[in-house]
Amino acid sequence: MKQLKQKLVGKQNLVPNGGKGKYDLTVPEPPRFLKHKHKKTIRQQRLEQDEFERKMKEEAECRQSFRANDIPKTTTLPLYQKILNKEAKRREKNKEASIAKTKANARPFSFHERDVEKAREAAIRNEDIDTQMLNQFRARIIPWRILVPRFKAMMEKDEHEREQRIRAAAQKSLACSKLPPRMQQHVDEKRRRIEENLDTTRSTAADGDTLFGFTFQPPRARSVPNFRKLQKAFVTQME
């Protein structure tokens, strides 16, 4: 450790006192005009001045206290309502003037005057009749066509005719329908036998056959055998 310190001190002593370093290098110096401080341009000066004035103005406005003006009296007055009332009065006045002008220019028809004169003469002739009875409304008698339920009768008639058409079509279809040739032949043969009383035994109710019944009868199902008993017998037989 001491040797390392001594070595560092020796290297430092080797450095000359001139300040040019260990190898005595020449350090260039900047020109004289570069050593002076750069002056600010006119633009920079104007910008700083504007910024300073703006800050001063903001500070002056911040120091001022806000005070609201008084509400004007016209705000509380019902000016709009007055305008509406004035407009309504003007409209009403114009309407009355128009009606008066129309009445002044209006002339009754000739037949209207004639009818009024006839009504006046009739009222004079019939003084005993009340004038209010002349203008009284009198309803006519209700026609009998309105009281009769014609719509219901028409609907019932249409429904009846429809049922008749359906029944007639069904009868016609039944009359036109027929069995296949072999089945028709069998039915005719059975009918002939019944008429001749040759096959009455087969047409009884006990057999379950009718005139148009089925002659084929499937075999009846057998009873289920006892498989355990059959198995036991088979085992005994094998022993």
Q: Where are the domains of the chain?
A: 148-173
Global confidence as pTM: 0.22
Cα 100 to Cα 223: distance, rounded to the nearest angstrom: 116
Supply the pLDDT for residue 104.
82
Name the residue with higher pLDDT: 122 or 91: 91
Burial of residue 155 (CB within 10 Å: 0-12, 13-18, 19+) is: exposed
**pLDDT bucket at 25, cuts 50 / 70 / 90:** low
The dihedrals phi and psi of 127, each to the nearest 5 degrees, come to -70, -25
List, for residues 113-138, the tens digit of each pLDDT value: 788 888 888 777 766 555 556 566 77
Q: Which residue matches tokens 């002593």?
A: 13
Supply the pLDDT for residue 203.
47
Cα 172 off chain centre by = 54
Cα 77 to Cα 80: distance, rounded to the nearest angstrom: 9
Supply the pLDDT for residue 97.
92
Cα 142 to Cα 121: distance, rounded to the nearest angstrom: 33
- 4-8, 43-47, 62-66, 103-107 — most confident range: 43-47
